A and B are shown apart, each in its own frame.
Chain A
């Protein structure tokens, strides 16, 4: 008899999944959300989100033209980081800075040539717009680089050498070209899939309630477990499809190196997808109505995944209590896995720690769903 019961259960589950597949095929919005949306968001955001400052408009003020000054300022031309704009006076340049027409000013004073090499007082002034502190810091670094290179060349040309006690030699691992896209785009996958998972599932369960079909399902001999699985399996497959599409785009369109293994990627994605779908299901089961479900989904998926996942903002630098909060954001673990997987290759220790967290979260979510979802109405 138990064999027969198992057969029946399998038949019911298969029926539910088949139903969901038909519905997905007929309703273009689900396919749109699962496939089109990630592609679209990844395209826009992938191109749109970058921390690499290029073609920064820099105001150049040469108070008294001299061969050296011209030589120095020409360092800003033919340089992909800068877009030099000449100004006749510092006042004009400062006005341009106020009006955000230039982001920085390089100003060679009239005693430029004389003071070169002679004192530690620099004969040039640099002003950056510090409103965007991060960009300002990066631009500051660029300008200092130009200055140091020119100084070195200048000293050599004079037959002297620059007196630098300690020279920093940098080696940036995993991303030698320091392309911010290489880490932002994998992070975006985590943010986008959080949205997709939450949206797909929070919508579909609420929809069944609203159309009255859930009631009809509940009075059949179908079991709770089968209803839950019947929802998870199709949307899991759908979500994984969207995920794979995103990964392919990341590698082919955005040229992010893929150094890890496919197995690790699949396994991690699957785990993450489960947490995202689990969260979506909890929202829709707890909320009851489509409307409240949607509102909750907005509040607890997008902004936390955007700000607290470590996708742009470094988690290690947040105050301890905030770091604690980031632990309940599933995207955080997936961001960590993806950044390692794409850029560093398989580092199993990092995977395992994050997998454990994700597994824990997924289990917790499904436990809550089992508790909260009843075959009986309230």
Chain B
């Protein structure tokens, strides 16, 4: 085991931007107490970007609301720029700007009207405004769109407008709650550039929350949160430093990655293992070299092992596991699922899409796309919000009629086929759509009945689901009050009650913590091993790494298709080692825009 990280950065006695002291906040809903923050104490330094990193439900938003004076803590104090966040909240709000999730824009107001409104609210004198607007519009690139309604902007543009509204009167502390959710990678990168320019030019302090772990590395300092606790605070590089010499990339024979990874995941000497395209990423408990990895871990005797640099996510997993092991005295184990072996020839095309179109009015959400998915494949549909993935997905599930083209799922168009045709398809909707008023047991019973299960078979399947997804303790809890990770498990269980041969997953892991995500993919991988065909949409580029093949969508069209490895190779950013899917995506978009530019230039 590496020594405990030196997480607390050199504390400065003076000039803290935020001083949180034993902050606790609980919410009561439906007779259940939810601890959002549990005695959190830390300070943040001025003039830097501080990141609040953690999955949904870790207390990030609650903390930001307390800092901006929107919530009062149950106990403990928060001092913001030297002011008490409860007593002096009006003064705090005069020098702090806060951008809530979804950016707090009035979608039925134009860009300029939104700016005018916030200028009025911030008492910016009229004569000064034109100069301010010009500067911000130039910075955000929104100048050509000032008269467009905010609701008509793309996700990335909305996010920049939201940011512009908070920068009208440059605050001393800028708070951004999940500013990059649902925004495409290019826009994410641009947002970071703007934030950095503010920090540098104006010595602004920024508190930013995100559930993307890769963004943590862009912060000067991060506060790692999990279920209302602070797991650590410090320089993001400092977090992963202790894992130097623990990280490896494994090359394994084709078709074996899932089996090997599943085995690795539960070994005591392994901290983390992760499928990355054709390779497996391994983090070991002890520091070692490649030879020792091959020697100590039997199944890797013939694998290619290559040392790798630690990433922030490795550190997070390591801290999380440590915390669970200390608190609950058990090792974290990833379970796989039993599933009957799907009959039929492998490599048979199960899902076939040809020239698929979908029009809403005169807007084309899907512009004639084609692809096919083979039996037993994990197939990814990638793209930012609004790229057309969900529309495509809904058409495949028979929830939305296509405007043109053909689609077949197991040889049938689910929209037109008899209801029974849906019996071998499982579906897990976005946001884990379950009946929140029903208990876990009632949900399982309902969905198994809806799929026609009854009697002994139904009892067996419910028992299986409660056991396999570790939901037995929660069987009588209202599913609405479950933590996100449990909801996700329940949703998957509900989709699998009837042992489908095809599984549709819409944004299955957004917002859940990295451990829960690993468990989820352990389940999915075991299903794929049994021959289940899996179709998944995601806007997390990193999640594409789990897929056998992906298509990347943008504005209703397919930008690129292939295996993750192929895409990374094809769209390799110049001069970068080991690019991620996200890097590849950005390169892809840039290349495409260049093509367009040259095309129009030639015309």
Residues of chain B contacted by A23 (CB below 8 angstroms): 106, 108-109
Interface status of B598 (Cβ within 8 A of chain A):
no
Pair B70/A213 contact, Cβ less than 8 Å: no
In the complex with contacts A22-B113, A221-B90, A376-B72, A216-B100 CB distance below 8 A: yes
Pair B113/A19 contact, Cβ less than 8 Å: yes
Cβ 8 A contact of A376, one of B71, B96, B116 = B71
Interface status of A271 (Cβ within 8 A of chain B):
no
Distance A211 CA – B102 CA, assembled complex (angstroms): 8
Instruction: Give the number of residues in A that approach B within 8 Å (Cβ atoms).
Output: 28
Residues of chain A contacted by B391 (CB below 8 angstroms): none
Interface status of B89 (Cβ within 8 A of chain A):
yes
Give 5 pairs: A residue, B residue, CB < 8 Å, sorted on A: A7-B123, A15-B116, A216-B103, A217-B104, A376-B89
Closest chain A residue, CB of each to CB of B165? A216
Cβ 8 A contact of A19, one of B65, B99, B117 = B117
Distance A223 CA – B123 CA, assembled complex (angstroms): 12
Interface status of B120 (Cβ within 8 A of chain A):
yes
Q: Which of B419-440 contact A (CB under 8 A)?
A: none
Task: Write the A15-39 contact mask toward B (1 if CB under 8 angstroms, else 0).
Answer: 1101100110011000000000000
Pair B117/A18 contact, Cβ less than 8 Å: yes
Interface status of B119 (Cβ within 8 A of chain A):
yes
In the complex with contacts A221-B94, A377-B70, A22-B109 CB distance below 8 A: yes
Task: Write the A218-245 contact mask toward B (1 if CB under 8 angstroms, else 0).
Answer: 1111110000000000000000000000
Interface status of A295 (Cβ within 8 A of chain B):
no
Pair B71/A219 contact, Cβ less than 8 Å: no
Distance A276 CA – B542 CA, assembled complex (angstroms): 53
Distance A16 CA – B121 CA, assembled complex (angstroms): 8
Residues of chain B contacted by A211 (CB below 8 angstroms): 102, 107
Residues of chain B contacted by A11 (CB below 8 angstroms): 120, 123
Pair A220/B113 contact, Cβ less than 8 Å: no
Q: How many interface residues does chain B have, given as a range?
A: 35 or more
Central interface residue in B65, B69, B123, by most chain A CB within 10 Å = B123
Interface status of B97 (Cβ within 8 A of chain A):
yes
Central interface residue in A14, A211, A212, A219, by most chain B CB within 10 Å = A219
Q: Which of B448-489 contact A (CB under 8 A)?
A: none
Pair A219/B97 contact, Cβ less than 8 Å: yes
Pair B100/A220 contact, Cβ less than 8 Å: no
Residues of chain B contacted by A220 (CB below 8 angstroms): 93, 118, 121-122
Residues of chain B contacted by A19 (CB below 8 angstroms): 106, 109, 113, 117
Interface status of B208 (Cβ within 8 A of chain A):
no
Interface status of A8 (Cβ within 8 A of chain B):
yes
Cβ 8 A contact of A15, one of B94, B102, B121, B149 = B121
Interface status of A68 (Cβ within 8 A of chain B):
no
Residues of chain B contacted by A221 (CB below 8 angstroms): 90, 93-94, 121-123
Task: Write the A72-111 contact mask toward B (1 if CB under 8 angstroms, else 0).
Answer: 0000000000000000000000000000000000000000
Interface status of B164 (Cβ within 8 A of chain A):
no
Residues of chain B contacted by A140 (CB below 8 angstroms): none
Pair B101/A212 contact, Cβ less than 8 Å: yes
Distance A15 CA – B106 CA, assembled complex (angstroms): 13
In the complex with contacts A213-B106, A219-B69, A220-B93, A18-B100 CB distance below 8 A: no
Pair B121/A222 contact, Cβ less than 8 Å: yes
Pair A219/B96 contact, Cβ less than 8 Å: yes
Least Cβ distance of A94 to chain B in Å? 55
Distance A377 CA – B71 CA, assembled complex (angstroms): 5
Closest chain A residue, CB of each to CB of B92? A219
Least Cβ distance of B180 to chain A in Å? 16
Interface status of B519 (Cβ within 8 A of chain A):
no
Residues of chain A contacted by B104 (CB below 8 angstroms): 212-213, 215-217
Closest chain A residue, CB of each to CB of B98? A219
Pair A217/B121 contact, Cβ less than 8 Å: yes
Pair B120/A377 contact, Cβ less than 8 Å: no
Task: Write the B108-141 contact mask toward A (1 if CB under 8 angstroms, else 0).
Answer: 1100010011111111000000000000000000
Interface status of B105 (Cβ within 8 A of chain A):
yes
